[in-house]
Amino acid sequence: MTRIVQLTDTHIYADAAARFDGVDTRASLRAVLAHLHAGPPYDLLVLSGDLSMDGSRASYAWLAEALAEESVPVVALPGNHDDPACWAAADGTGFTPTPTLLTRGNWRLLMLDTHIDGVAHGALGPGQLAWLERTLAARPAGCCDVLFLHHPPLAIDSPWIDAMGLRDAAAFWQVLAAAPRPVACIAGHVHQTFDRRHAGVRVLTTPSTCVQFQPRSAHYAVDARAPGYRVLELCADGRFATEIVRVPGADGQPFDA
């Protein structure tokens, strides 16, 4: 079995005193990492975007230091708040080159980039969509695929967030309709849990490590639930299990389950 942890939307600032709706995003990430490290071992850590709030070198330098003790491979995908060139310039770490295919046993992990400079919405673009089509079509017999990206490819029933969604989602689903489907598509961006099956694919999103957004809200609204992360367990027989782990108190605010 392969155990993967997804962290998303850490929103680290250059200024250590800055707050996101009153939350110290550096402290909340440290608390989430401490909780994670105290639990069962895992094989891969996926950071699915909006790692920085301001796209600054200082935010990425701090993040790289916070992750320096990880003993497993770390995959980092950019979100709309990120500046990929800035992280590379900050300390040479940078985001994982995308699109990327990783293999873990009979599971294939497809890492995609939905970042567009200067805008909140995302897109894959023709190049990545063509790569995705080729890669899905070339899947060996007995293998299973999971996709990771920042912007989810489905509307989540929250109009203000859906306005910042994946602009070429229709093209994404056309590709999946013509190729062997992945088992799941796992995203960030929306600061909440979402779990829906669409066209035979399970689409999942994950809570932020800092501020949570209220589900099904028409306008920006903060949710009282605690920060968290997703654990994904990939079994050799093609089954998978996943759960959200909440970290009460990680945001420094009272916790409401």
17-52 CB burial, b ≥16 within 10 A, e <16 = eeebeebbbbebbebbbebbeeeeebebbbbbbbbb
pLDDT for position 114: 98
Query: Residues, the chain, total?
Result: 257
Q: State which amino acid sits at residue 68.
A: A
Tokens of 78: 């950019």
Residue carrying structure tokens 């600054």? 56
- Helical ranges in 67-203 per DSSP H: 84-91, 125-137, 159-162, 169-177
Rounded to whole angstroms, the Cα distance separating 37 from 161 reads 31
Kindly report whether the global pTM for this prediction surpasses the value 0.85: yes
Task: Give pLDDT, residue 256.
Answer: 39
Distance separating alpha carbons of residues 243 and 45, to the nearest angstrom: 15
**Measured torsion, CA atoms of residues 54, 56, 60, 62, in degrees rounded to the nearest 10:** -90
Q: Order across the sheet with 240-246: list the strands.
A: 74-77, 44-48, 2-7, 228-234, 240-246
Q: Report the b/e string of 129-158 with b at 16+ CB within 10 A.
A: bebbeebbeebeeeebbbbbbbbbbbebeb
- DSSP SS3 for 136: helix
Topology adopted by domain 2-246: Purple Acid Phosphatase; chain A, domain 2 (3.60.21)
Domain boundaries of the chain, sorted by first residue: 2-246
**CA gap 154, 213 in Å, rounded:** 17
Task: Yes or no: say if 209 and 229 are a contact pair by the CB < 8 Å rule.
Answer: yes
Q: What is the pLDDT along the chain (257 residues), one digit of tens a residue?
A: 999 999 999 999 999 999 999 999 999 999 999 999 999 999 999 999 999 999 999 999 999 999 998 999 999 999 999 999 888 766 667 899 999 999 999 999 999 999 999 999 999 999 999 999 999 999 999 999 999 999 999 999 999 999 999 999 999 999 999 999 999 999 999 999 999 999 999 999 999 999 999 999 999 999 999 999 999 999 999 999 999 999 988 776 544 33
Nearest alpha-carbon partner for 90 in 70, 67, 71: 67
